[in-house]
Amino acid sequence: MRLAEADDTLRAIRSGEVDSVMGSGRKGNQVFTLAGAEHAYRVLIESMNEGALTLTVGKVVLYANQCFARMVKCPLEQVMGGSFRRFLSEADRKRLRPLMKRPGKSGSKVQVLLNASDGSQMPVQISLRPLTRHGSSLATVSMVVTDITAAKRSEEMLRALSHRLVQMQEAERGRVALDLHDNITQPLCAVVFRSQALADRLSARNGPSKGEAMELRAMLGATAREVQRISGNLRSSILDQLGLVAALEKAGGEFADRTGVPVRLACVELAERLPIGTELTLYRLLQEALENVERHAHARHVAVSLNQQGGFIRLTVSDDGIGFDRSHSPARRTEKDGLGLLSMRERVAYVGGSLKVKSGHRAGTEIEATVPV
């Protein structure tokens, strides 16, 4: 008899035949009105391809549409009147709790995993808004639950494609570096030695010619060193042979010599070599960060630190330059600048790490990458 009465009550609620429903909470029984004039809106919500719910701030489901019931693979009569928390993990409950208490007038959004009754999970985006009911002091929240499975799959595919492009780029860099070493650097070194020998054979009475020969030898030597530097930046032999710390120290030293900006390095010696992908990611991160400092920061000092905390490696690059306002990017910042930070973030994410960027106008910039060992 009670089951039949419950079915009749739920049917009446869904069809708009009742004006109120009583629910129990911490403060005892509470009456929630369901204005009959809203029946047309409930019919519209039932036709949505997204889950729609009305909840108390205590996460009791006052109303849910059929789409949400299908998402959690649970009969609608078992969803309404129950707690929304049972469809979330403990971690996602903690993320949702402050938003439920203070959703904000403009609403809030959060991405979570929705746990269905059969044990499956669905990535969803939850949009929250406070629900104002005229003549009622009871706080309720409206919620729209959007299935983002396809979006997540596309994001993973794009990330995999991005990583594949990075791999191809690294392979091409290695080939170019090898070509520069074999076909440019070595012949240049041979020309340097020949020009030095030629200058040595010129006597003192050939003063002007000897001076020209010495200047030519110096120009050729500078060109050979520059080509060698470019080749090393394309593919660091020190990284391959001596490891990450040695490569970071060399990159910092070359930057200081080239720009005159001192670099303070504090790198701990790692107990063992990291995976080559992780080492290359952190090395490229330092290169990109130093390039940004050279091009934009107008910094007087740069600090680089590498340390290990438990199962994580943390690389931090900070400067005392002009910085930038991340919330109001100036128009002079080019698209390439934004792609530089995006490239850093994607590289770090692919090896399972995270990237934090702290900056402010005239407050310098700090880039911190944390990757698992």
* 30: DSSP letter: E
List phi, psi (to 5°) of 263.
Answer: -120, 120
What are the structure tokens assigned to 260, written together?
């005159």
Are residue 229 and residue 135 in the same domain, yes or no?
Answer: no
> What per-residue confidence (pLDDT) applies to 351?
87
Residue 193 and residue 319 share a domain:
no
358 in the same domain as 258: yes
* Count: domains in the chain: 3
Q: Domain holding 70: CATH number?
A: 3.30.450.20
State the pLDDT at residue 37. 44
Residues 96 and 26 placed together within one structural domain of the fold? yes
Q: Which ranges of the chain have pLDDT less than 70?
A: 1-42, 103-106, 132-139, 204, 326-339
pTM: 0.60
What DSSP state is assigned to residue 102? -
Q: Which residue has the tokens 């429903």?
A: 21
Domain boundary among 147, 178, 207: 147
- Regarding whether 257 and 229 lie in a shared domain, the answer is no
Query: Do 355 and 369 fall into the same domain?
Result: yes
Cα(306)–Cα(312) distance, rounded to whole angstroms?
11
Tell me the CA end-to-end span of the chain in Å, nearest whole number: 61
Which CATH number belongs to the domain containing residue 301 in this structure? 3.30.565.10
Yes or no: say if 11 and 44 are a contact pair by the CB < 8 Å rule: no
In 136-206, alpha helices (H): 149-179, 186-201
Domain finish residue from 207, 235, 263: 235
125 and 36: one domain?
yes
> What's the confidence (pLDDT) of residue 286?
93
CB contact at 8 A, 145 and 131: no
Query: How many angstroms separate the Cα of 358 from the Cα of each of 316, 317, 369?
Result: 11, 11, 12
Q: Is residue 185 located within the same domain as residue 316?
A: no
What is the identity of the amino acid at 101?
K
Closest of 22, 23, 13, 16 to residue 38, by C-alpha: 16
Q: Are residues 134 and 93 in the same domain?
A: yes
Task: Please write the tens of the pLDDT for every residue from 30-88.
Answer: 555 555 445 556 677 777 889 999 888 888 998 899 999 999 999 998 999 899 999 99
Distance CA 316, CA 358 (A): 11
Residue 246 is which amino acid?
A: A
What pLDDT was estimated at residue 331? 40
Domain containing 97: what range? 2-147
Residue at which a domain ends, from 132, 147, 162? 147
Same domain flag for 231 and 253: no
The pLDDT of residue 125: 93
Instruction: Classify strands 108-115 and 121-131 as parallel, antiparallel or unpaired.
Output: antiparallel
Can you give the pLDDT at residue 306?
94
Rounded-to-integer distance, Cα 29 and Cα 317, Å: 57
Is residue 142 domain-shared with residue 6, that is, in the same domain?
yes
Whether 357 and 247 map to the same domain: the answer is yes
Name the amino acid, one letter, at 270: L
